[in-house]
Copies of this chain bind each other. A is one copy, B any other.
Amino acid sequence: MVVLLSGGLDSATCLYWARARGWRLHALAVGYGQRHVRELRSARRLARAAGAELHELRLRLPWLGVSSLVGRGTALPDAPLARIGKQGIPSTYVPGRNTVFLALAVSLADSLGAEGVVIGANAMDSSGYPDCRPDFISAFERTARLGTRKGRETGRLKVYAPLLRDGKGAIVRKAFRLGVPLELTWSCYRGGRRPCGSCDSCKLRAKGFAEAGRKDPAL
Protein backbone atom coordinates (compact mmCIF):
# COMPACT_ATOMS: atom_id res chain seq x y z
CA MET A 1 0.00 0.00 0.00
CA VAL A 2 1.31 3.45 -0.94
CA VAL A 3 0.66 6.17 1.66
CA LEU A 4 1.12 9.84 0.78
CA LEU A 5 3.09 11.14 3.72
CA SER A 6 3.62 14.87 4.19
CA GLY A 7 4.82 14.60 7.77
CA GLY A 8 1.72 16.30 9.18
CA LEU A 9 -0.90 15.04 11.61
CA ASP A 10 -3.35 13.75 9.00
CA SER A 11 -0.94 11.81 6.80
CA ALA A 12 0.82 10.35 9.85
CA THR A 13 -2.56 9.11 11.08
CA CYS A 14 -3.17 7.58 7.65
CA LEU A 15 0.20 5.83 7.80
CA TYR A 16 -0.67 4.22 11.12
CA TRP A 17 -4.19 3.45 9.94
CA ALA A 18 -2.68 1.51 7.03
CA ARG A 19 -0.15 -0.13 9.35
CA ALA A 20 -2.96 -1.36 11.61
CA ARG A 21 -4.48 -3.10 8.59
CA GLY A 22 -1.32 -5.11 8.16
CA TRP A 23 -0.39 -3.86 4.70
CA ARG A 24 3.20 -3.67 3.55
CA LEU A 25 3.85 0.07 3.66
CA HIS A 26 5.41 2.36 1.09
CA ALA A 27 5.42 6.03 2.07
CA LEU A 28 5.66 8.69 -0.64
CA ALA A 29 6.92 12.12 0.47
CA VAL A 30 7.09 14.96 -2.04
CA GLY A 31 9.01 18.21 -1.87
CA TYR A 32 7.42 20.82 -4.13
CA GLY A 33 8.98 24.02 -2.85
CA GLN A 34 6.61 24.28 0.12
CA ARG A 35 7.52 26.91 2.72
CA HIS A 36 7.43 24.18 5.32
CA VAL A 37 9.91 21.79 3.70
CA ARG A 38 10.67 21.06 7.34
CA GLU A 39 7.71 18.65 7.20
CA LEU A 40 9.77 16.26 5.07
CA ARG A 41 12.11 15.65 7.99
CA SER A 42 9.04 14.58 9.94
CA ALA A 43 7.99 12.35 7.07
CA ARG A 44 11.34 10.56 7.17
CA ARG A 45 11.12 9.99 10.91
CA LEU A 46 7.54 8.80 10.73
CA ALA A 47 8.29 6.36 7.91
CA ARG A 48 11.15 4.90 9.93
CA ALA A 49 9.01 4.65 13.07
CA ALA A 50 6.22 2.89 11.20
CA GLY A 51 8.53 0.51 9.33
CA ALA A 52 7.53 1.92 5.93
CA GLU A 53 9.77 2.04 2.91
CA LEU A 54 10.24 5.73 2.09
CA HIS A 55 10.16 7.12 -1.45
CA GLU A 56 11.14 10.77 -1.43
CA LEU A 57 10.77 13.03 -4.45
CA ARG A 58 11.58 16.63 -5.21
CA LEU A 59 9.45 18.34 -7.83
CA ARG A 60 10.35 21.68 -9.31
CA LEU A 61 7.10 23.10 -10.66
CA PRO A 62 7.84 26.81 -11.05
CA TRP A 63 4.19 27.71 -11.66
CA LEU A 64 3.17 26.68 -8.13
CA GLY A 65 4.48 30.08 -6.99
CA VAL A 66 0.93 31.41 -7.44
CA SER A 67 0.11 29.70 -4.13
CA SER A 68 0.93 31.50 -0.89
CA LEU A 69 2.08 28.13 0.46
CA VAL A 70 4.86 28.05 -2.12
CA GLY A 71 5.43 31.53 -3.56
CA ARG A 72 7.40 34.07 -1.59
CA GLY A 73 5.53 36.97 -3.25
CA THR A 74 2.25 36.33 -1.44
CA ALA A 75 1.84 36.60 2.33
CA LEU A 76 0.67 33.53 4.17
CA PRO A 77 -2.77 34.39 5.58
CA ASP A 78 -3.11 34.60 9.34
CA ALA A 79 -6.89 34.59 9.33
CA PRO A 80 -8.05 31.11 10.29
CA LEU A 81 -9.13 29.29 7.16
CA ALA A 82 -9.29 32.46 5.08
CA ARG A 83 -11.44 31.81 2.03
CA ILE A 84 -11.03 33.53 -1.31
CA GLY A 85 -13.42 33.71 -4.28
CA LYS A 86 -16.83 32.19 -4.96
CA GLN A 87 -15.86 28.65 -4.11
CA GLY A 88 -14.16 29.66 -0.88
CA ILE A 89 -10.74 28.43 -1.93
CA PRO A 90 -7.94 30.01 0.14
CA SER A 91 -4.67 31.44 -1.19
CA THR A 92 -2.78 28.51 0.34
CA TYR A 93 -4.40 26.24 -2.27
CA VAL A 94 -1.62 24.75 -4.41
CA PRO A 95 -2.99 24.28 -7.95
CA GLY A 96 -3.66 20.64 -8.64
CA ARG A 97 -1.46 19.47 -5.77
CA ASN A 98 -3.46 16.44 -4.72
CA THR A 99 -4.08 15.54 -8.36
CA VAL A 100 -0.31 15.47 -8.89
CA PHE A 101 0.38 13.69 -5.58
CA LEU A 102 -2.25 11.03 -6.20
CA ALA A 103 -0.98 10.55 -9.75
CA LEU A 104 2.55 9.98 -8.45
CA ALA A 105 1.25 7.60 -5.77
CA VAL A 106 -0.77 5.68 -8.35
CA SER A 107 2.26 5.45 -10.62
CA LEU A 108 4.27 4.00 -7.73
CA ALA A 109 1.45 1.63 -6.76
CA ASP A 110 1.14 0.39 -10.34
CA SER A 111 4.91 -0.21 -10.50
CA LEU A 112 4.79 -2.21 -7.28
CA GLY A 113 1.54 -3.99 -8.05
CA ALA A 114 0.21 -2.53 -4.77
CA GLU A 115 -3.47 -2.64 -3.81
CA GLY A 116 -3.89 1.11 -3.86
CA VAL A 117 -3.01 4.42 -2.29
CA VAL A 118 -3.92 6.28 0.90
CA ILE A 119 -4.29 10.04 1.19
CA GLY A 120 -5.01 12.15 4.26
CA ALA A 121 -7.49 14.40 2.46
CA ASN A 122 -10.09 15.86 4.75
CA ALA A 123 -13.25 17.64 3.63
CA MET A 124 -14.64 18.71 6.99
CA ASP A 125 -12.20 20.85 8.88
CA SER A 126 -10.06 21.43 5.82
CA SER A 127 -9.40 24.82 4.32
CA GLY A 128 -11.90 24.39 1.48
CA TYR A 129 -9.45 22.93 -1.00
CA PRO A 130 -11.25 21.50 -4.06
CA ASP A 131 -8.91 18.51 -4.14
CA CYS A 132 -9.87 17.43 -0.61
CA ARG A 133 -13.56 16.81 -1.34
CA PRO A 134 -15.27 13.42 -1.60
CA ASP A 135 -16.41 13.82 -5.21
CA PHE A 136 -12.82 14.51 -6.26
CA ILE A 137 -11.47 11.49 -4.41
CA SER A 138 -13.97 9.08 -5.95
CA ALA A 139 -13.45 10.56 -9.43
CA PHE A 140 -9.72 10.07 -9.01
CA GLU A 141 -10.18 6.47 -7.92
CA ARG A 142 -12.12 5.68 -11.08
CA THR A 143 -9.44 7.41 -13.18
CA ALA A 144 -6.67 5.46 -11.47
CA ARG A 145 -8.43 2.17 -12.04
CA LEU A 146 -8.84 2.90 -15.76
CA GLY A 147 -5.38 4.35 -16.32
CA THR A 148 -3.19 1.62 -14.83
CA ARG A 149 -2.10 -1.93 -15.55
CA LYS A 150 -3.12 -3.02 -12.05
CA GLY A 151 -6.54 -1.41 -12.38
CA ARG A 152 -7.24 -2.87 -15.82
CA GLU A 153 -6.02 -6.36 -14.99
CA THR A 154 -7.66 -6.76 -11.58
CA GLY A 155 -10.47 -4.19 -11.70
CA ARG A 156 -9.09 -2.77 -8.46
CA LEU A 157 -6.84 0.10 -7.55
CA LYS A 158 -8.24 1.69 -4.43
CA VAL A 159 -7.87 5.28 -3.28
CA TYR A 160 -8.40 5.33 0.49
CA ALA A 161 -9.06 8.63 2.26
CA PRO A 162 -9.80 7.34 5.77
CA LEU A 163 -10.05 10.84 7.31
CA LEU A 164 -12.23 12.35 4.58
CA ARG A 165 -15.28 12.98 6.72
CA ASP A 166 -13.63 13.40 10.13
CA GLY A 167 -13.48 16.64 12.06
CA LYS A 168 -10.04 17.60 13.40
CA GLY A 169 -10.96 16.42 16.90
CA ALA A 170 -11.88 12.99 15.56
CA ILE A 171 -8.57 12.80 13.71
CA VAL A 172 -6.63 13.56 16.89
CA ARG A 173 -8.57 10.89 18.79
CA LYS A 174 -7.90 8.42 15.98
CA ALA A 175 -4.19 9.29 16.05
CA PHE A 176 -3.97 8.54 19.79
CA ARG A 177 -5.91 5.31 19.35
CA LEU A 178 -3.55 4.17 16.58
CA GLY A 179 -0.43 5.05 18.57
CA VAL A 180 0.87 7.68 16.12
CA PRO A 181 4.11 9.22 17.45
CA LEU A 182 2.57 12.69 17.32
CA GLU A 183 5.72 14.35 18.64
CA LEU A 184 7.30 13.57 15.26
CA THR A 185 4.61 15.28 13.17
CA TRP A 186 4.83 18.78 11.71
CA SER A 187 1.81 20.89 10.69
CA CYS A 188 2.92 24.54 10.66
CA TYR A 189 2.80 26.19 7.23
CA ARG A 190 5.64 28.57 8.11
CA GLY A 191 8.15 25.85 8.71
CA GLY A 192 10.37 27.63 11.19
CA ARG A 193 12.10 25.95 14.10
CA ARG A 194 8.94 25.87 16.21
CA PRO A 195 5.31 25.92 15.06
CA CYS A 196 4.14 29.55 14.68
CA GLY A 197 0.76 28.98 16.31
CA SER A 198 -0.94 31.52 14.06
CA CYS A 199 -1.19 30.05 10.56
CA ASP A 200 -4.30 28.18 9.36
CA SER A 201 -2.66 24.86 9.89
CA CYS A 202 -1.45 25.55 13.45
CA LYS A 203 -4.89 26.87 14.44
CA LEU A 204 -6.65 23.88 12.97
CA ARG A 205 -4.30 21.50 14.76
CA ALA A 206 -4.82 23.30 18.09
CA LYS A 207 -8.59 23.11 17.56
CA GLY A 208 -8.28 19.36 17.02
CA PHE A 209 -6.34 18.73 20.20
CA ALA A 210 -8.72 20.99 22.16
CA GLU A 211 -11.75 19.09 20.84
CA ALA A 212 -10.14 15.79 21.73
CA GLY A 213 -9.20 17.11 25.18
CA ARG A 214 -5.55 16.16 24.70
CA LYS A 215 -2.24 17.96 24.93
CA ASP A 216 -0.21 18.28 21.71
CA PRO A 217 3.05 16.34 22.30
CA ALA A 218 4.78 18.31 19.51
CA LEU A 219 4.52 21.61 21.41
Contacts and interface: CB of A to CB of B under 8 A. Distances in A.
Interface in A138-163: 139-140, 142-144, 146-149, 151-153
A108 interface: yes
B139 A143 contact: yes
A104 interface: yes
A94 B87 CA distance: 36
Interface string A154-190: 0000000000000000000000000000000000000
Contact of A96 (B99, B107, B142): B107
Contact of A139 (B85, B99, B139, B153): B139
Interface string A44-82: 000000000001011111111010000000000000000
Interface of A: 55, 57-64, 66, 85-87, 89, 93, 95-100, 102-104, 106-112, 130-131, 133, 135-136, 139-140, 142-144, 146-149, 151-153
A116 to B, nearest CB: 13
A147 B139 CA distance: 9
B66 A111 contact: yes
Interface centre among A55, A98, A144 (most CB of B within 10 A): A144
Contacts of A57: 59-61
- Sort A-B residue pairs by CB-CB distance and give the 10 closest, nearest first: A96-B107, A103-B103, A95-B110, A63-B111, A131-B147, A139-B143, A136-B146, A95-B111, A99-B103, A100-B103
A4 to B, nearest CB: 13
